[in-house]
Structure 1
Amino acid sequence: MSSGVTLTAATRQNLLSLQGTADLLSSTQNRLSTGKKVNSALDSPVSFFTSQALTNRSSDLGGLLDSISNGVQTIQAANQGITSIQKLVDSAKSTASQALSTKSTATGASATSAVATAAASLTSSTATAAAGAGGGTGAAADGTHNFSGSHSSVFVVKDGTNAETTITLNAANFGNTVSDLTKVSAGEILTQINSQLTAAGGNGAQVQASLTTDGRLNFTSTATGSDSKVTITTGAVPGDTDIGFGTTASAATVATGVDPTDGSTKARATGTAVAALGGAGVAGATSGITVQLGNSPAKTLTFTGTGQTGAQLVTQINDQIAADVGLKGKLTASVTNNQLTIRSTDSGPEQKVTVKSIGATDIGFGTGTSSAPSTGVTASGTGSTSANGTNARTALAQQFNELLTQITQQAQDSSYNGVNLLYRAGSDAKENTLHLSFNEKDTSSLDIKGVKFDATGLGLQSVSGGFASDDDIKASLTQLTNASAALRTQSSTFGSNLTVVQNRQDFSKQLINILDTGSANLTNADLNEEAANSQALSTRQSIGISALSLANTAQQGILQLLR
């Protein structure tokens, strides 16, 4: 027989009600203690996982905010650097202007570089070429060039020492430095050309490229005077894109520099006449010389072979000079009337050449050994300015050069957190490009391209002639004016970039707040509501207990009758 306890319907109903009230009260107390109405996926899967996704994105954007903040500081550091460099440029202008007003008796012009200029404009849509490998093409209607696919331009640049650099413009070399290979601008072409000229180093042509006001390419030798030369020829496979020199094999474009007309001369170290230089030749196997330019270390030049004529010795000397980075383009050798001469390519009183013999065979500079060289010959260049004018201008030129050094150092010091938007050691723009990500997937970003704003990057050349002529000073003033324009343009660019970055910084902060608020709305409990619920449930529980007591009253009455 069953011995279970039998409860009345009223009692069971009250028990169920009390159990439900207890469960609700427990849930309410949990929400009050945690502050959340969704504590796990069991409470509400949709709300829990949606809230988690919002929180995760907020956390990712919060991490990016540090990078964006560093980006703001990097731009501000670069902008401050530009401001300081501009002050130095203004000071250099003042120095050059003061030199210009200083009285000097120099007349005429200083030596000029060789400048080879393209016949056709790089930016003009009318530039066309004869049919080349792929049917020659010039600039498009908007002045850009197409270097996508197999389109290319190849040409050779040679300087006065016959050192040459092959320039190849194609999709592979432009790489990621341009945004659209079908529309490469003149500025981007110029940057790539100078990049390849710089990369060739001392063994390549000592030439720099620039653009004329009408958009034509200029190639200027770093050397000056009649020894300087620039030769442009098309490559073995010229390519099909014309940038001003054509796309088919044609006559070379050649330009030669001009010697000064201000009375300054070159330093010429000339040996005594040696009859064998013009006849049977000297015993080259035991001959050699040291050559010193200015106060720089002396360089040793040795000769091979026997029975070397003057012309053969000159070839060996010039080949070794061209192979030496310190002497290349600065010295040249020649022989006249059986006399060997080694002279500077630049003019002026600061030029000095010293030649000594370290060989047993005399080629005009005596005989000697490596440990005991001959007395040799020392020669200096001359200038034509008066003593007072020379001293004043030379002092100002030295001050000018020191300011250029400060400009370079200022650019090198304008870095923040390892990123310097004003200086890079090489020519690759990626070297100092600042990449900022604005979202967690990096699908929204900004690349801030840095510049090379040291003295060289700004096109400022140090003064080697002591501001001997007014033309030298005016050339420096022109360079400074162009540098100021470049600084102002870049400052405007950085200002625009800073506005974009600060706008994204504010946007990210607001978006993080929105994401956090949205996540909280899905999971946070309303504590006022839960407190009211807790009080109501407590009251309901008390009433339930009282109701259960009343339901048991009838059974207690029957118990009294049995007694």
Structure 2
Amino acid sequence: MIMAVTLSAGVRSAVSSLSSVQSQATAIQNRLATGKKVNSAIDNPVNYFTAASLNERSSQLTGLLDGISNGIQTIQAASKGIDAITKLVQSLQSTVKQAQADAAQNRPTKAGTALATATEAAVTSKSLKDIALDKSIGDITGGTAATADAATASSSGDLGIAAANTKLAISITAGSTTYTKTFDTANTTVRDVVNEINKSGVATAFVDEKGQLNVKGNGSETVGFGFGSGTDDATALTSAAAGGDNTAIGFAAADAVVATSGLTSSNVTSAVRSNLIQQYNDLRDQIDQLAKDAGYNGVNLLQGDKASIQFNEKTGSSQSKLDIQGTTLSADNLGISQATNTQLAGFTNFQNDADLDTATKSLTGALTSLKSISSSLGANLSVAQTRQDFTKDLTNVLTQGADNLVAADGNQEAANLLALQTRQQLSQTALSLSNQSDQAILRLF
């Protein structure tokens, strides 16, 4: 049978104090080791579970950052693709400008019959060119008959348009553009007609050294050139449209009607333009190839793919995300047609100025479309980057908030441990003194 040991009150008090100090020192040592003042729900249930919830959300948001980063890279890949395609379109513009700058040999042009003769040159002591330019259009001798008067020593003569026709008109048509102009017959010369043609923007004119009026289109389209006269503006314009007085200035009536004859090109193919066709088509093909290579991680916004970036950890209607619908980008979709050396439907004929003008407009439109797509991508990229920065900051806030609830103050805990160690030493001294008091009874024996 084991007998119970009876301790004195002083010893029992000292032992209890030592046990309490040791328990507190152990708890503080655990806080210093973990860095937390709340290590379990027992320490502080409210703070423990609140911190756990904050850390859980922070962890979920951190996991979403990878998806946001991938979304940003997908947008940037498409944006870089747009930048590169823009440079290709600008190169296409440069190629078209080279073709337009080429002195094309296929301008529609024609020289009329001579308006002055060697006899007139001898009489006036002027060149054939000057005599032709100075000739009056109307019959300067008067009368109703359309009689051309030769130059004399004192006059350059006239083309014989009847004096009764007080109005003159020119009509110039190229493609879908028509230029008309009326002026008075009186005192009007061939020089005035030449100047008026040069104002049209449709064609140019000059009188050569042979005394011939030359008319040349500004583009490759067949030009209809008509000259006419009448008693008023309306009849003069009608006459001009049919070439009623074309013969007076050395042209045929059919030269006024584009569908019948007109001033046609020499049908000479420009070698410079031909050499630019392959260059143009190669650049055009690269647009399609580049668009196909602008993807990231299997998603290509320039091939019609859709990218979805999730910004929060929730689901359903509470979920926050950004959906980006891509577009199928190609040369055809941008309105950039292939180039050829002949007139074919749906193609750009590099030998035709009108087609080159159309190509220029198409390329300008393509650049506008690319800017619009780039702007849309830029706006989405800005949103994604802003949410990425926000998510990073929010995870830091959540983590800091959780730490504030459970983290231990190292300085304070270290000071507490030092104080407990001092108390432990004092308690041990008190226990020793209590034992000495109990041992005093031995002196009685």
Q: TM-score, normalised by structure 2?
A: 0.59
| Residue identity in the other structure for 1:387 | V
| Residue identity in the other structure for 1:459 | G
Secondary structure in structure 2 of the residue aligned to 1:397: helix
* Aligned twin of 1:393: 273
Secondary structure in structure 2 of the residue aligned to 1:534: helix
2:358 counterpart (467, 475, 488): 475
- Tell me the distance in 1 between the aligned counterparts of 2:54 and 2:332: 51
Secondary structure in structure 1 of the residue aligned to 2:41: coil
Quote the sequence identity (%): 47
* Aligned twin of 1:69: 69
TM-fit CA distance, 1:558: 1.9
TM-fit CA distance, 1:527: 1.6
2:287 counterpart (376, 388, 407): 407
Gap change, CA 1:445 and 1:50, over 3 Å in 2: same
* Aligned twin of 2:386: 503
The answer on whether the counterparts of 1:262 and 1:469 sit within 8 Å (CA) in structure 2 is: no
TM-fit CA distance, 1:474: 2.0
Would you say 1:105 and 2:112 are equivalent positions?
no
Deviation per residue, 1:364-401 (Å, 9 max, x gap): xxxxxxxxxxxxxxxxxxx9763342x43333233222
Alignment root-mean-square deviation, CA: 2.7
TM-fit CA distance, 1:482: 0.7
TM-fit CA distance, 1:405: 0.4
| Residue identity in the other structure for 2:350 | F
Gap change, CA 1:385 and 1:15, over 3 Å in 2: farther
- Tell me the distance in 1 between the aligned counterparts of 2:356 and 2:53: 66
1:421 counterpart (279, 283, 301): 301
* Aligned twin of 1:44: 44
| Residue identity in the other structure for 2:308 | H
- Tell me the distance in 2 between the aligned counterparts of 1:483 and 1:107: 31
1:528 counterpart (405, 411, 422): 411
Secondary structure in structure 2 of the residue aligned to 1:419: coil
| Residue identity in the other structure for 2:79 | N
Would you say 1:53 and 2:56 are equivalent positions?
no
Unaligned runs of 5+ in 1: 109-260, 264-382, 425-430
- Tell me the distance in 2 between the aligned counterparts of 1:62 and 1:5: 61
1:462 counterpart (327, 335, 338): 338
Gap change, CA 1:385 and 1:472, over 3 Å in 2: farther
Gap change, CA 1:502 and 1:459, over 3 Å in 2: same
* Aligned twin of 1:452: 328
Q: Count residues with an aligned counterpart.
A: 284
- Tell me the distance in 2 between the aligned counterparts of 1:104 and 1:452: 40
- Tell me the distance in 2 between the aligned counterparts of 1:410 and 1:2: 95
Secondary structure in structure 1 of the residue aligned to 2:7: coil
| Residue identity in the other structure for 1:437 | Q
* Aligned twin of 1:438: 311
1:99-248 counterparts in 2 under 5 A?
A: 99-102=99-102, 103-105=104-106
TM-fit CA distance, 1:107: 6.0
Gap change, CA 1:437 and 1:419, over 3 Å in 2: same
TM-fit CA distance, 1:436: 0.8
Deviation per residue, 1:190-248 (Å, 9 max, x gap): xxxxxxxxxxxxxxxxxxxxxxxxxxxxxxxxxxxxxxxxxxxxxxxxxxxxxxxxxxx
- Tell me the distance in 1 between the aligned counterparts of 2:385 and 2:409: 36
Secondary structure in structure 2 of the residue aligned to 1:448: strand
The answer on whether the counterparts of 1:414 and 1:420 sit within 8 Å (CA) in structure 2 is: yes
* Aligned twin of 1:541: 424
TM-fit CA distance, 1:104: 4.3
| Residue identity in the other structure for 1:446 | L
The structure with the largest alpha-carbon Rg is 2
The answer on whether the counterparts of 1:106 and 1:469 sit within 8 Å (CA) in structure 2 is: no
TM-fit CA distance, 1:475: 1.9
* Aligned twin of 2:183: none
TM-fit CA distance, 1:541: 1.2
| Residue identity in the other structure for 1:482 | G
TM-fit CA distance, 1:480: 0.7
| Residue identity in the other structure for 1:27 | A
* Aligned twin of 1:484: 367
- Tell me the distance in 2 between the aligned counterparts of 1:29 and 1:473: 85
- Tell me the distance in 1 between the aligned counterparts of 2:312 and 2:283: 43
- Tell me the distance in 2 between the aligned counterparts of 1:89 and 1:441: 44
TM-fit CA distance, 1:416: 2.0
Secondary structure in structure 1 of the residue aligned to 2:339: coil
The answer on whether the counterparts of 1:25 and 1:537 sit within 8 Å (CA) in structure 2 is: yes
TM-fit CA distance, 1:23: 0.8
TM-fit CA distance, 1:537: 0.8
1:25-40 counterparts in 2 under 5 A?
A: 25-40=25-40
Secondary structure in structure 2 of the residue aligned to 1:6: coil
The answer on whether the counterparts of 2:269 and 2:351 sit within 8 Å (CA) in structure 1 is: no
Secondary structure in structure 1 of the residue aligned to 2:326: coil
- Tell me the distance in 2 between the aligned counterparts of 1:493 and 1:99: 34
Deviation per residue, 1:327-376 (Å, 9 max, x gap): xxxxxxxxxxxxxxxxxxxxxxxxxxxxxxxxxxxxxxxxxxxxxxxxxx
Deviation per residue, 1:103-132 (Å, 9 max, x gap): 142669xxxxxxxxxxxxxxxxxxxxxxxx
1:357-376 counterparts in 2 under 5 A?
A: none
- Tell me the distance in 2 between the aligned counterparts of 1:98 and 1:3: 118
